[in-house]
Structure 1
Amino acid sequence: MLELRHLNTLKALRAHGSLAAAAEELHVTASAVSHQLKELENYYDISLVNRRTRPLSFTPAGLEVLKLADSILPQVTRTKMSLKRLAHGQAGRLRLASECHSCFDWLMPILNKYRREWSDVELDFATGFEPEPHHLLLEGDIDLLITTSDLPIEGLHYQRLFEYESRLVLSPTHPLAKLEQITASDLTAETLIAYPVESKRLDVIAKFMSPAGKEFAKIRTTELTAMLVQLVASERGVAALPDWVVAEYERKGWVVSRPLKTENGLGVYCQLYAATRTSSMNTAYMQGFANLLEGIVKP
């Protein structure tokens, strides 16, 4: 029967041209190399090596086995190395999702650095607009979730990132742009332009409108931040976005922003987290990503 040890033996014989030299590379005796060779030849009833030539030469059958060795042995070596990396948590797949659609602005540099440092880890992305992304994380459909909700779910760990202010975004010509602060009552006749998530997961509703017992007249959705800003600039509605996102478009003069005045007068502030399963926290490539997030500063 043809085995990996036979392939290694024939490769060593080709490299060194003698039983003794091949045996030294394989860390066995010359008689052991001869025995392996005879064992294979007897099993298939065919000669593989011309023993009378110096250096040893191979018969057509021996050359066929060598072609197999050249094809198979590198694959075996690569697989062994991959298994070792997997066993030590240095390789695998990291599936990431974000409830914060605009977070990719600051996340991309981290992802690029992670790819360089953890080249054996496959990065994959899923939408964060699913109804219950925390349960996708818990069930293993994703591995890391960027979220503002640190739901007390057993089996999940939350790494604090940074806090941001959610600000109302308006067209510069919108009547509300004349106000210094916006109350919930000011928005009851407005159309909210938002990302396509459940309304209860939108900061402006969960932390501003609902506590005041108020609602928007209508909600219109879009997945693209640029489209959202264009709709606001065209006075199709208003939006609420993180302060770092608003600042970019305000500099261009497309929109203006105003703070949302809550009952305590402090505005709407949100804490951003990176959520992972506690069972995967000690995996090396997960720790590597967490370490990169540790150094992040608010955009």
Structure 2
Amino acid sequence: MLELRHLKTLTALRAHGSLAAAADELHVTASAVSHQLKELENYYDVSLVNRRTRPLTFTPAGKAVLKLADSILPQVTRTKANLKRLAHGQAGRLRLASECHSCFDWLMPILNKYRREWSDVELDFATGFEPEPHHLLLEGDIDLLITASNLELEGVAYQPLFEYESRLVLSPTHPLAEETTAIQPSQLADQTLIAYPVEAKRLDIIAKFMTPAEVSFKQIRTTDLTAMLIQLVASERGVAALPDWVVAEYEKKGWVVSRPLGHGIYCQLYAATRVSSKDTAYMQGFANLLEGLVKPANL
């Protein structure tokens, strides 16, 4: 029998101290307010309001109902607002993954700005080391994928970000560091490749450089972290391939050097989303921030 309208009536009575003033706030008549009170009091056989006092005061039972109102009504208001934001795509959850494991340096400022502008959206991250991250996108396990692979998949849309060059990364004392011409696949056949833990066919240097020449690395060693990858290369444990903007940072420090691979391996980076969700307001908000993205400027 106790309903939200009763809670609203009692809080209006407390705020204004009279039936008439409470009725004005509630956009009903004073007799309607009186009827609601009597209805509730009769149902529970208890008095809620001292009607003879000016302004009105509340009995212990009335104060108990007001305490409930103070707890419940704000939650109802917040929930209604959230439902409206959800209905208009202004709230929700954005799950992001990246196949570009060295992208977070430029991605973090965008994420921070997005959090400020879309505070009702929960940002979450999934690993980019999954075998088929595009299918995670199609199945709804993630909502946005940073990738260099614009696979032709029905239901997936791609937003171009920027182009980068994948360069060979070497220790300054590595024999190939003395080369003045571009590195050829045959020169890497006896080398260990230091790479992120993804399928070999998804690595630029293998898919676009070694495999077309039918040449393989002697060994592949993996690490999750860019800093560890650089350390392994610097200590002559192998060679690596990284985007030009990433390796440039470490070249400036003198830790490694880089060389072009053949005529150059150039890749386009994309933000992939589901066609069915890309027009949602908070997805559009993220896309708009990416639209102004330029290639990282530390080159």
| 1:54 CA drift (Å) | 1.0
TM-score by length of 1: 0.98
Q: Match for residue 283 of structure 1?
A: 280
- Report SS of the residue matched to 1:39: helix
The CA distance in 2 between the partners of 1:25 and 1:131, in whole Å, is 60
The CA distance in 1 between the partners of 2:191 and 2:209, in whole Å, is 14
The CA distance in 1 between the partners of 2:76 and 2:119, in whole Å, is 20
The CA distance in 2 between the partners of 1:33 and 1:283, in whole Å, is 43
The CA distance in 2 between the partners of 1:246 and 1:57, in whole Å, is 73
Q: Match for residue 23 of structure 1?
A: 23
The CA distance in 1 between the partners of 2:144 and 2:57, in whole Å, is 57
- Report SS of the residue matched to 2:28: coil
| 1:164 CA drift (Å) | 0.3
Q: Match for residue 184 of structure 2?
A: 183
Aligned residues: 295
What aligned pairs does 1:1-20 form with structure 2 within 5 A after superposition?
1-20=1-20
The CA distance in 2 between the partners of 1:83 and 1:297, in whole Å, is 36
- Report SS of the residue matched to 2:96: strand
| 1:122 CA drift (Å) | 0.6
Letter in 1 for 2:114: Y
The CA distance in 1 between the partners of 2:158 and 2:186, in whole Å, is 34
In structure 2, list runs of 5 or more residues that go unmatched: none
Misfit runs of 4+, over 3 Å: none
The CA distance in 1 between the partners of 2:24 and 2:246, in whole Å, is 66
The CA distance in 2 between the partners of 1:238 and 1:127, in whole Å, is 24
The CA distance in 1 between the partners of 2:274 and 2:23, in whole Å, is 50
Does 2:207 align with 1:210? Answer: no
The CA distance in 1 between the partners of 2:158 and 2:287, in whole Å, is 11
After superposition, the C-alpha distances for 1:251-270 in whole angstroms (9 at most, x for unaligned) are 00000000001xxxx31110
Letter in 2 for 1:225: T
- Report SS of the residue matched to 1:160: strand
Q: Match for residue 134 of structure 1?
A: 134
TM-score by length of 2: 0.98
- Report SS of the residue matched to 1:159: strand
In structure 1, list runs of 5 or more residues that go unmatched: none
What aligned pairs does 1:93-242 form with structure 2 within 5 A after superposition?
93-180=93-180, 181-242=182-243
After superposition, the C-alpha distances for 1:174-211 in whole angstroms (9 at most, x for unaligned) are 00111121100000000000000000000000000000
The CA distance in 1 between the partners of 2:247 and 2:194, in whole Å, is 14
The CA distance in 2 between the partners of 1:277 and 1:36, in whole Å, is 51
Q: Match for residue 55 of structure 2?
A: 55
Letter in 1 for 2:265: V
The CA distance in 2 between the partners of 1:54 and 1:165, in whole Å, is 80
| 1:119 CA drift (Å) | 0.7
